[in-house]
Amino acid sequence: MSVQYFTAEGLKKLQEELYQLRSIERPKISQQIAEARDKGDLSENAEYDAAKDAQGLLELKISKLEEVVASARLVDESKLDNTKALVLSKVKIKNKTNGQVMTYLLVAENEADLKLGKISVTSPIGKGLLGKKVGDTAEIAVPNGKIEFEIIEISR
């Protein structure tokens, strides 16, 4: 069981999803199984088989989420170093090739959402930015070569 770091918001979302699965989805599937069982012969009952399969998948998902929540650790933002790109750093970077400027928030893998500008510290760009300071150049390996990014700004 590996430790994963989360923001308070990310951990809360995970706990809400777990609650939803346990208290709403689990009883729903149990009800579907009961209804399918009431329809007679279980050996030829496709509804029963489908509901049992869905129950197995749901239980697996619940189990994995419980494991993640149990090993989750909150990141204390007040103790983070603002001089380097770390988890929860907002990093403004400039592509040295085309001059494009982007801002990303470095987050744990489970909280990544590119639409919101949140990238995982385990992604190629996230890994390349970790530990860098303002003014440093991050050389990121991509499928068609390497891209150089200049770190313009780091904030929280």
Q: Sign of the C-alpha dihedral, residues 21, 43, 46, 35?
A: negative
Q: Which residues pair with 4 in a beta bridge?
A: 72
Last residue of a domain, one of 27, 46, 74: 74
Same domain, 89 and 69: no
| Straight-line distance from the first to the last Cα atom of the chain, in angstroms, rounded to the nearest whole number | 29
Same domain, 60 and 98: no
The CATH code of the domain that includes 25 is 1.10.287.180
Same domain, 88 and 120: yes
Q: Which residues pair with 150 in a beta bridge?
A: 94, 137
Last residue of a domain, one of 74, 98, 113: 74
Q: Which two tokens stand for residue 60?
A: 């697996």
- Pairing state between β 101-107 and 118-120: parallel
What percent of the chain is modeled with pLDDT above 90? 41
Q: Is the pLDDT of residue 79 over 70?
A: no
Q: Is the pLDDT of residue 103 over 80?
A: yes
Provide the domain count of the chain.
Answer: 2
pTM listed for this prediction: 0.64
Least confident piece of the model among 8-12, 19-23, 72-76, 88-92: 72-76
The parent domain of residue 129 ranges over: 77-155
| Run of H or E residues at 145 | strand 145-155
Q: Sign of the C-alpha dihedral, residues 30, 33, 39, 43?
A: negative
Q: Is the pLDDT of residue 116 over 80?
A: yes
The CATH code of the domain that includes 127 is 3.10.50.30
pLDDT confidence of residue 17: 93
